[in-house]
Chains A and B, each alone.
Chain A
Amino acid sequence: MSIQRMTRIALLSAILYVSKVVLEFLPNIELVSLLVILYSLVFGWEAMLIVTVFNLFELIQWGFGTWWFSYLYVWPLLCVITMLLKKLVKEEFLIWAIMSGSFGLIFGSLFALFYLFVDPKYALAYWISGLPWDVVHCIGNFVLMLILGKPLYKLLKMLNQKVYPSTE
């Protein structure tokens, strides 16, 4: 892997992490989903490496817990979904907003999936009690993508072309 690429991954994962930390005071309003989708749109599968580094940052900040296993598949899954839809949806950000919102809505259930193996009753209780927060997550994700999606996408694309013309 080139140093250029490693630097890009480091910087983008740092931005992802900082975006999470600055909005931590607002429960379930986050820019991580938005950025993961945009990273996947602009940088393709490299986004998988970015979320992996992000997950490691989370591990360092919060220490090990069972929640981390859920993080290990939740964010990469968002990359995969985006990559699969990329060719179909293209630059129609209303659909990306709905996709991001829907991801917010099922976030709790995706998270609870891991607990299903630990204790199904706990997984169900966890999911149900978190449902109102999933709705908040959904609305937040939808609105943020609708407002910030296109301009940030254009900015990232432009920067990528300027800084790394060879990769285009």
Chain B
Amino acid sequence: MCLSIFQHILSGRTKMSKKKKITLISVFVAVVAVAAIVAVVLNQKSTTAGVKNFKVQIVSERDGYDQTADCKSDAEFLGEFLRTFEGCEYQESDYGIYVTGFDGMKEDLDNQYWWCISVNGEAAVTGADEIPLQDGDTYNFTLKQGW
């Protein structure tokens, strides 16, 4: 089939037969469908049900603050937990929860201060609403300066 399409292209004719068109569209639709399935599967985050015990560390050099707390929650995602976490200040955005401060230690965008989220020491590559809560994990929030 691929060969016949290739031959058709090389032959330089401008009109394709109906059959070839249908086959071509079918192959394309199949490829797109596979891509869509892959997209959904890869973006599915595995979460665990039930109560999870984990650590939350909050660090702000600017405010001379460094505290770690043992927490427990049955929330599936970090964002869900943060909404109930005392002292956490946040905004809802189109991309999910956006942390603006802890216990009055606010971000300061004019001076390029922002809260960076790390999971087990590695900077998170997704928002808190997409980070699954796992038993034994450490979630670190550090006030960073500079973009």
Binding site for B on A (CB under 8 A): 88-92, 94-95, 98, 101, 105, 121-122, 125-126, 128-129, 131-132, 134-135, 138-139, 142
Q: Residue of B at shortest CB range from A122?
A: B125
Q: B9 contacts A89, CB within 8 Å?
A: yes
The answer for the CA separation of A129 and B12 in the assembled complex, in Å, is: 40
Given contact pairs A132-B43, A135-B39, a sample of 15 additional A-B residue pairs in the complex whose CB atoms are under 8 Å apart: A92-B15, A92-B16, A94-B16, A98-B24, A98-B28, A101-B28, A105-B32, A125-B125, A125-B126, A128-B42, A128-B43, A129-B126, A131-B35, A135-B32, A138-B32
Q: Residue of A at shortest CB range from B12?
A: A90
From A91, A101, A125, A126, contact of B14 by CB (8 A): A91
Asked if B1 is at the interface of the complex by the 8 Å CB criterion, the answer is no
When distances are taken between beta carbons in the complex, the residues of chain A under 8 Å from B130 are 129
From B10, B16, B43, B126, contact of A131 by CB (8 A): B43
B residues 1-25 near A (Cβ < 8 Å) are 9-10, 12, 14-16, 21, 24-25
Asked if B36 is at the interface of the complex by the 8 Å CB criterion, the answer is yes
The answer for the CA separation of A105 and B31 in the assembled complex, in Å, is: 10
* Nearest 9 interchain pairs by C-beta: A131-B39, A125-B125, A132-B39, A135-B36, A88-B9, A128-B42, A98-B28, A90-B14, A91-B14
Asked if B40 is at the interface of the complex by the 8 Å CB criterion, the answer is yes
The answer for the CA separation of A142 and B29 in the assembled complex, in Å, is: 10
Q: How far is the CB of B18 from chain A (nearest CB, A)?
A: 11
Q: How far is the CB of B26 from chain A (nearest CB, A)?
A: 11
Asked if B38 is at the interface of the complex by the 8 Å CB criterion, the answer is yes
Known: A122-B125, A131-B43. A101 touches B32 (CB 8 A): yes
Q: How far is the CB of A22 from chain B (nearest CB, A)?
A: 20
When distances are taken between beta carbons in the complex, the residues of chain A under 8 Å from B12 are 88, 90
Q: A94 contacts B43, CB within 8 Å?
A: no
Q: How far is the CB of A62 from chain B (nearest CB, A)?
A: 15
| A–B Cβ pairs within 8 angstroms, 23 of them | A88-B12, A91-B14, A92-B14, A92-B16, A94-B25, A95-B9, A98-B28, A101-B28, A101-B32, A125-B125, A126-B125, A128-B43, A129-B43, A129-B126, A131-B35, A131-B38, A131-B42, A132-B40, A132-B43, A135-B36, A138-B35, A139-B32, A142-B28
The interface centre, meaning the residue of B36, B39, B42, B130 with most chain A CB atoms within 10 A of its CB, is B39
When distances are taken between beta carbons in the complex, the residues of chain B under 8 Å from A139 are 32
Q: How far is the CB of B29 from chain A (nearest CB, A)?
A: 9
The interface centre, meaning the residue of A105, A126, A139 with most chain B CB atoms within 10 A of its CB, is A105
Per-position binary interface string of chain B over residues 64-93, scored 1 when its CB falls under 8 Å from any chain A CB and 0 otherwise:
000000000000000000000000000000
The answer for the CA separation of A65 and B112 in the assembled complex, in Å, is: 16
The answer for the CA separation of A161 and B14 in the assembled complex, in Å, is: 21
Q: B125 contacts A121, CB within 8 Å?
A: yes
